[in-house]
Structure formats: structure tokens, C-alpha cells
Amino acid sequence: MFEICCQQARFSYLHMKYLFFSWLAVFVGSWIVYVEYSSYTEMCRGHECKNSICDKYKKGVIDGSACSSLCEKQTLYLGKCLTANPNNQVYSGSWGDLEGVIKCQMEEAPRYDLGGEPRKETSAAFNKPTKGTSVEKFREMITDHLKAKVGDQANLAELATQVLSIADGNKDSHISLPEARSTWALLQLNEFLLALVLHDREHTPKLLGFCGDLYVMEKVPHSPLYGISLPWIIEMWIPAGLRRSMDQWFTPSWPHKAKISIGLLELVEDIFHGTFGSFLMCDVSATTFGYNDRHDLKVMDARHIVPEAIFQEVIRQQRCDVDEDCLYGADCLTSCDLTKHRCTTEVTRPNLAKACDALKDYILRGAPSDMSEELEKQLYACIALKGSAEQMEIEHSLILNNLKTLLWKKISHTKDS
């Protein structure tokens, strides 16, 4: 009798334990689903952006090469949400036979952004140029805007002509007021400006079309540059050292990595005293870059590649108490002048040092044994660069050319080059 009672008690205890853990699993699972869903709905608002853009298109406020497909023919589709910032909606998309990436601005409150005018409500972003503005006056507006962004360069007229060519979205040799308003809104974006500046260098994906400040870029097949995405609940338990190693597990063969790395070094070269002035790379992380099937580097997110002149103009007005107050993006840090409590204008690390830092683990893993020691030595010399590139232009150029030469020598005789 006593034995039966003990068995019943044990069964009851196991039953309660099972129920408790079942309830706990349901509770935790429901909480995770709720958090993920809330995060998704807050982050992914592309359809709101589309509806806002199409409403303005139908009212005749804006126009562009993608407007009819997006709002009338329904042949431009928003696919998977890739958004990392709710103010900058990013979706994979398809446009007929083309695959692309759709980007749309969702800034709803006044906000000063580096290198641009204060963005007001989306509806106010399309108030320039005004009715009655001639094409020549619009060209003048564009030239003045570009001069303010990149400085008084010799070939601004050529860049302005390129902008006007893009503005004629339906290629009827006539720029309508709605097309001009869309183009003006796009010109406020760093990413669009960089795509213009580097249009002949193939570092940026091609612009396929636009409608207002929603625009479609060609799809880059491989992104980010390296790294694997894990659920946050797993991520929090992985040590930092192991995580860095895991990021390098699924990367191309070493010769292909060398070609991609050369592409990043060439990008640094092109935006330092380039055709249209100097730019600063303020987020040199793997997620910012990708590559195509030919292993050519592509800039995936150029929002934090900013004209140096604009950066200096804005940062010198920023109040500070410590150097950390003088940070823009993830990587552009200047020092704090404590006598004035204002930020100085010279960045502490040049673009090249940050690029080498991003490439270090990527290019050293799997490097041929006969050059790995020299490669490591050159990379660490590169990472150690301090101050602006202008202050050390000769050393900067020497290190960059040495790295490119070392990598090209190793792959020039292979089909990977």
C-alpha cells in the first residue's frame, strides 16, 4: 500500500514538473515570437513608404522612371525586408526580369543629417524646385548643391549634366517638374551622390530607377562581405573570439578574397583626392560591402561615406567634453578641443587604416604560406596609420600601393584575376 502511494506521489511530481516546463517553454516561445514580431513591424515599414510615394505620384507631386511600375502596373515588387534602420527602408525586390534592392526614406520628424539639409516630413521633401523653374535654373541649383557638397571641383558641370540625364526618367528629352523634384530629393542622399561620383568605377551598384526618393539599385549577389547571421538568443552565448572565427567560415577561396580586398583598396584610393574631392568612410564594416559573381567589390550601404568638406563643416560646430563626443557613424572620430569645447576637424584614423582593419582576419585566413608573414606585416603597418591622409600622403600612398602589389602578384597568373 505504501509502495503504491509512493509511486502515485512520484507520478504526480513528474506530471507537475512536465506541466511546469511545458508552460515555461510556451511562455518563452510566445515571448520570443512577440518580440520578433514587434521588432519586425516597427523596423519593416516598406509598404507605408510605398503608399506615401504612390500617393504623391498620383497627385502629380513626383515622377520618375520607376513610378508607373511601382504604383500603376504593379510590376515592381517589394520582397524580403532587409531593413536595419526604420528611417531607411531596404527591401529585396523584382522589377520585371530584373532583381534589385529597393530603398526608401521614412524620416518623419525634423532631423539634421551630416551632409544634408534638415529632413522634414516626407511630404515637405518634394518642394524644390518650385513651379516655373527653368531647366537652366535647375542646372544652376544642382551645380551649387554639388559645389557645397564636394567643393569647387573643375568638372562639376559634367556631374550636373549627368544628374539632368538621370532626371529625365522617361527619356523624352524633357524634364518635368515632378521628375525634377524627385531628382532633387535624391541629391540630398549621400549614397546617391557617391553613386554619381563613382559611376565609371563600378564600386557601387547601378541605379535602375527611382520614384521620389525611393530608388532601385541592382542586386549584389553576395553580401555581406563576410560573417554569418545567428539568432540573438544564440549570439549572446558565443565568446567574441569564436564569433570572429565563425565569421570567416563561409568565405570564397583565398585568390577570390584577394581580388575583393584589392577592390576595397581601390575604393579607398578613388575617394581620396578623387575626381570630385575627398570622402570619409565612417562605417567600414563587413555589412557595408558585398561582391558580385566576378568578385568585384560593391558598396552596399554608402550612407556613411560622406564628403570630407561637409564633415568638417558640421563636426567643427559640435559641442564636446570628451573625444567620444566627436564621433560620426561607427568610425569617424576627431578630438575635442577642451579650450573651446568644440570638435576639431581632422579624423584620428584615415580611410585606409580602417579598411585594413576590416580586411585583416578576412585576408590573412588561408593566405599562402610564402607571403602570409609579409602580408601580415603590411596590414599591421596599415592599421597603425594615424591622422588624416593629407598629413601623411606619401606614407599612405606607399602602404596602399605595396598592399595592392603584393596581392596582385599572387593572383595575377591565375584565372581569379
The tens place of each residue's pLDDT in the chain, 417 residues long, gives 545 555 555 556 566 666 666 666 665 555 454 444 444 456 888 888 899 999 999 999 999 999 999 999 999 989 889 887 888 899 999 998 899 999 998 764 333 345 444 343 344 468 889 888 898 999 999 999 988 888 777 678 888 899 999 888 878 888 999 999 999 999 988 888 888 888 777 888 999 999 999 999 999 998 888 877 666 566 666 777 776 777 777 788 999 999 999 999 999 998 887 777 789 999 998 889 999 999 999 998 888 899 988 899 889 999 999 999 999 888 899 999 999 999 999 999 999 999 999 999 999 999 999 999 999 999 999 999 987 656 677 888 899 999 999 999 988 876 655
Query: Biggest alpha carbon distance in the chain?
Result: 103
User: Which letter does DSSP use for residue 118 in this model?
Assistant: P
CB atoms closer than 10 angstroms to residue 367: 18
**Are residues 290 and 300 in contact, defined by beta-carbon separation less than 8 angstroms?**
yes
- Residue 307 sits at φ, ψ, to 5 deg, of -60, 135
For residue 328, the SS3 value is strand
Identity of the amino acid at 383 = I
Looking at residue 245, what is its pLDDT? 74
**Are residues 106 and 45 in contact, defined by beta-carbon separation less than 8 angstroms?**
yes
Looking at residue 211, what is its pLDDT? 93
Number of residues that this document lists for the chain? 417
For residue 279, the SS3 value is strand
Chain position carrying cell 539639409: 117
Identity of the amino acid at 205 = P
What is the rounded distance in angstroms from the CA atom of residue 337 to the CA atom of residue 333?
Answer: 13
Quote the Cα angle for 235-240-244, to 5°.
95
Looking at residue 292, what is its pLDDT? 93
In angstroms, what CA-CA distances link 359 with 223, 277, 365? Answer: 15, 25, 10
**Are residues 286 and 224 in contact, defined by beta-carbon separation less than 8 angstroms?**
yes
For residue 143, the SS3 value is helix
What is the rounded distance in angstroms from the CA atom of residue 246 to the CA atom of residue 238?
Answer: 10
Chain centroid to CA 331: 13
Looking at residue 230, what is its pLDDT? 65
What is the rounded distance in angstroms from the CA atom of residue 148 to the CA atom of residue 97?
Answer: 39
Looking at residue 23, what is its pLDDT? 63
**Are residues 262 and 203 in contact, defined by beta-carbon separation less than 8 angstroms?**
no
Q: Name the grid cell of 408.
A: 596582385
Q: Name the grid cell of 122.
A: 516626407
Q: Name the grid cell of 253.
A: 577561396
Q: Name the grid cell of 334.
A: 576627431
What spatial distance separates the first Cα and last Cα of the chain, rounded to whole Å?
84
**Are residues 270 and 194 in contact, defined by beta-carbon separation less than 8 angstroms?**
no
